[in-house]
Structure 1
Amino acid sequence: MEQIKRTKIKDILASAEYEKTVNVKGWVRTRRGNKFVNFIALNDGSSIHNLQIVADVTQFDEELIKRITTGSAISVNGTLKESAGKGQSVEIQATEIEVVGDCNADEYPLQPKKHSLEFLREIAHLRFRTNTFGAIARVRHAMIFAVHSFFSEKGFLNIHTPIITASDAEGAGEMFKVTTMDINNAPKTEEGDVDYSKDFFGKATNLTVSGQLEGELAALAMSEIYTFGPTFRAENSNTTRHLAEFWMIEPEMAFYDLDDNMDLAEEFTKYLLNYALENCMEDLEFLSKRLQEEEKGKKAADQSMELIEKLRFVVDNDYIRLTYTEAIDILMQSKPHKKGKFQYELKGFGSDLQSEHERYLVEKHFKKPVILTDYPMSIKAFYMKQSDDGKTVKAMDVLFPQIGEIIGGSQREESYDKLLERMRAMDLPEEEMSWYLDTRKFGSVPHSGFGLGFERLMLFVTGMGNIRDVIPFPRTPNNAEF
């Protein structure tokens, strides 16, 4: 086969250089035709769209044509032609075809038909080859790039925080233990407890739930930093919104108060969604049609907002800002609360808001994205700045349509005495957290930060309903395949 430099299918589809000789390589989606001509739909992952290869059967060996099955990988040399076929502007008239990788058609599970998302999770090693997961992978890459672009343009430094840690940033206790000890024969102390002094790190260690605390250390020297890394929760939850392994974006900023923090969160989320609208439109249009098809049988009131309209809803609106107390008053006066329509009952100040309450504020009451501030101290983390009222903290949550909270953050407590008092009240280990307390003794300043769960962002941008479908290889209870 003549050696011609390969061109990606995305670039071929955008080209109008007819009669040019080109080479494309990819995986066969379908082959159809008759004894005279075959039409091969080829995809290489660069685009949601397939490229049509037209093969004059009389010009090729019969055995070669038989090997071109769904799932096989081929290399094609041919002439770029204007297409008369419906749905494509160009096609390739094949002059040479090589089967690079055969596919056992009898065993290949991805046949040209609709497959359920549940089935595709069972073959996650192959689901990239479907239109849906190809689109999700391209959008995910675009969002990763946009995250780094946004912070880099604003002068933030990317900091790698540890994946193995001895601290529990959230105080939740649901962490994966890291050890090199034989769990069937672990050394014990005289009291009969596991003797972690004999372990690799000489103490009990876990996989991190957040890079925030270490991020604060960097911000209190470099001013503005962000982390973007894997985090882990050993929460035995099998919902559509929980993963055991996921990715978090956590900026931390010195000299930022709560208002600065909210400004950054609004600017950041709008930047990301704008980037998706400007760079991923073909994939978004496909994902929007997929969602509409999936919801055809639902009542109009239960159907999701159209995907691209939903993204523009966020980009085109200023975010409403109000306190948690004001939000509780609105919710307590709402029809769903008075008629008992909320699944989770509200009991006034101190209630932990659920997704249904957050969505009511965004979708029904304000019809705009919402940022709630000044939450009760009792339901928030120890590191949040305490307000003068002694009841609330300088926290903020950004609420989006159809998903509820997408960002959680706060101004951090810079006072050594107040932070220590709060840690003692929550029975957190002072000695193990001495390094964190030190930052409040040596040049402490007001500072703020927030966390955005990347997979939650991906749910919003793609319109998918299950978080297991927006990460390549989901880790959930009883599932660590691939």
Structure 2
Amino acid sequence: MKRTRIASLLASEKPIEDVCLMGWIRTRRDAKGFSFIELNDGSCLKNIQVIAAGELPEYERVLACGTGSALRVTGNLAVSPAKGQRWEVHAKSIAVLGQAPETYPLQKKRHTDEFLRTIAHLRPRTNKYGAMFRIRSEVALAIHRFFRDRGFRYVNTPIITGSDCEGAGEMFRVATQKAQGQVDGIQPEFFGQEAYLTVSGQLSAEMLALALGDVYTFGPTFRAENSNTRRHAAEFWMLEPEMAFADLSDNMELGESLITYLVRHVLDDCSEDIGLFAQYVEKELMKQLERIVSAPFARITYTEAIDLLQRSGRSFDYAPSWGIDLQTEHERFLTETHFGGPVIVTGYPRGIKPFYMRVNDDGNTVAAMDILVPGIGEIVGGSQREERLDVLEGRMRELGMNMDAYWWYLDSRRFGSVPHCGFGMGFERVLMMLTGVGNIRDVIPFPRTPGSIAF
């Protein structure tokens, strides 16, 4: 008999005979001659009630099964007389697929996020994290749909790289293990040179955009930054679109359209799961999401932002001044207090931005743009890329970069260069925005942070 997902059963318009469902026991209560089982298979937030009668051959074994045990149930989907639920399943047979002992750590009571991080292999079975990872799946699919509908091509860029896109130097080195018995001496590099886990697929994506037009890459990136903040992880996913024959204005339009598209998608298609976070995690979540899609994003220059911060009368931990990067406290003031919604900041000082950003005519700023949202701060960072070979080479020399290592990147400016632009969007920060969750560790199934790689 073909298995039916619980989500499909709960959405049924009529009773169904001979259904087969499989899932895990969330709770079980017993009455005289009956056992009432709340079963969940991960397909939706709600459980379905299974009624097991005492005459079932498997009944005694069912009574030995507690929370976490896995069952296969065949029976009939019937209208439930109980208040608050439309359907229930009257079991004809039950098979115990896996019995969980009383030591199963997830019980009916609510557990703290801190505790659940210590059992990350089991936390997807909770209501909160089941909802989170269903939303994560839906948002990833929505990203692909958004770009496909706009004519972008999905491309794959290297995870192992020999170049540092950001110039920050905080990268994970990739090397082979020492041969057995080797004592001293340097191992020959597997690739013939030092190799690292990528911090960004941007440079490679640029090469593909300069051949295919509009492309995007979406995959894991890695930063060896010893940071234990709520917003940083060592392994995270980045979405990086690149557009040929496009400028900073096109970049801003794309970023704003993408964010509003994703918010509308979860509001329309993930209402049940988002409702859990609105009820238990962030009471203002629905208002925040509606605010994002209700009006165009504010747009200001970096210089205007610094002026607003200096005239705000606020005492910041980091005093705002022209030439320093905006801190989270600055970004949140702009979005949450001053504008009351998302803000796009453009025209950052060239001295605080990477080499590949196009230098503006004033010589002091670059054609960069960051999109800031309430509760998070920066969620998108991008720029028009420097397409002029002489200016790009000058920037690289200015930063003391090894230009020989980027010969292939410079070739793209040497052979048919065109104006182009792109940005990076942290996938986990998008999920934090959409759910109100305040710690990046709680939107990643198995978070990698300094000192933590347990799963």
Moved more, 383-392 or 66-75: 66-75
1:9-20 paired onto structure 2 within 5 Å: 9-18=6-15, 20=17
Which amino acid is the alignment partner of residue 425 of structure 1? E
Q: Which residue of 2 aligns with 1:411?
A: 384
* Aligned residue number for residue 172 of structure 1: 168
1:144 aligns with 2:134: no
Counterpart of 1:313? 291
Give the % identical residues: 53
- Give the conservation status (yes or no) of the 8 Å contact 2:437–2:443: yes
User: 1:225 & 1:61 partners in 2: Cα distance?
Assistant: 56
Please say if 1:284 is aligned against 2:274: yes
- Contact 1:57 / 1:65 at 8 angstroms: preserved in 2? no
Is the CA contact (8 Å cut-off) linking 1:67 and 1:99 kept in structure 2? no
How far is the alpha carbon of 1:5 from its aligned partner? 2.0
The structural deviation recorded for 1:21 is: 2.8
**Shift of residue 19 of structure 1?**
5.5
Distance 1:163 1:52 in 2: 45
Counterparts of 2:46 and 2:59 in 1: how far apart (Å)? 28
**CA displacement, residues 240-291 of structure 1 (integer Å, 9 cap, x when unaligned):** 1111111100001111110011011111111111111111000000111111
Determine the C-alpha separation between the residues in 2 that align with 1:273 and 1:249: 16
Deviates more, 1:65-74 or 1:162-171: 65-74
Residue 18 to residue 187, structure 1, CA distance change in 2 (3 Å): same
Aligned to 1:406, the other structure's residue is in SS state: strand
Q: Would you say the 8 A contact 1:55–1:93 is kept in 2?
A: yes
- From 305, 309, 312, the counterpart of 1:334: 312
SS in 1 for 2:129: helix
Q: How do residues 42-441 of structure 1 correspond to structure 2 at under 5 angstroms?
A: 42-105=39-102, 107-182=103-178, 194=186, 198-292=188-282, 306-336=284-314, 340=315, 342-346=316-320, 348-441=321-414
Instruction: Indicate if the aligned counterparts of 2:381 and 2:424 stay in contact, CA closer than 8 A.
Output: yes
Q: Which residue of 2 aligns with 1:462?
A: 435
The structure 1 segments of at least 4 consecutive aligned residues displaced by more than 4 Å after TM superposition are: 183-188
Cα deviation for residue 481 of structure 1 reads: 1.6
Give the drift of 1:61.
4.5
Whole-angstrom distance in 2 between the partners of 1:309 and 1:276: 14
| Pair 364,443 (structure 1): closer, same or farther in 2 beyond 3 Å | same
CA drift at 1:95: 1.7
Conserved 8 A contact 1:414-1:444: yes
Task: Tell me how far apart the structure 1 counterparts of residues 67 and 265 of structure 2 sit (CA, whole Å).
Answer: 34
- CA separation in 1, counterparts of 2:91 and 2:59? 15
Q: AA paired with 1:168?
A: D
Q: CA deviation at 1:22?
A: 1.4
Distance 1:186 1:317 in 2: 64
5+ residue gaps, structure 1: 189-193, 293-304
CA contact (8 A) 2:52 2:59 kept: no
Distance 2:16 2:112 in 1: 41
2:6 alignment partner AA: I
- CA-CA distance at 1:202 after TM superposition: 0.7
Residues 308-361 of structure 1 deviation map (CA, whole Å, 9 limit, x = unaligned) = 22111111110111110011111111021xxx2x22221x21121111111111
Aligned residue for 2:258, secondary structure, equals helix
Q: Which moves more between the two structures, 391-400 or 66-75?
A: 66-75
State the 1:238 CA deviation: 1.3
In structure 2, the residue matched to 1:296 is none
Q: Which residue of 1 aligns with 2:23?
A: 26
Total equivalences in the alignment: 454
SS at match of 1:20: strand
How many angstroms does 1:425 deviate by?
Answer: 0.8
Q: Is the 8 A contact 1:181 1:199 kept in 2?
A: no
- SS of alignment partner, residue 440 of structure 1: helix
User: What amino acid does structure 2 have at the position aligned with 1:115?
Assistant: H
Return the letter of the residue paired with 1:16. E
| Native 8 Å contact 2:58 2:93 kept in 1 | no
TM-score by length of 2: 0.97
Instruction: Check conservation: 2:74, 2:93, Cα contact below 8 A.
Output: yes
Determine the C-alpha separation between the residues in 2 that align with 1:271 and 1:33. 47
Give the drift of 1:182.
Answer: 1.9
- Give 1:186 deviation, angstroms: 7.9
- Please give the secondary structure, in 1, of the residue aligned with 2:71: strand
Provide structure 2 residue ranges, at least 5 long, that are not aligned to the other structure: none
With over 3 angstroms needed to count, the CA separation of the structure-2 counterparts of 1:10 and 1:418, relative to structure 1, is same
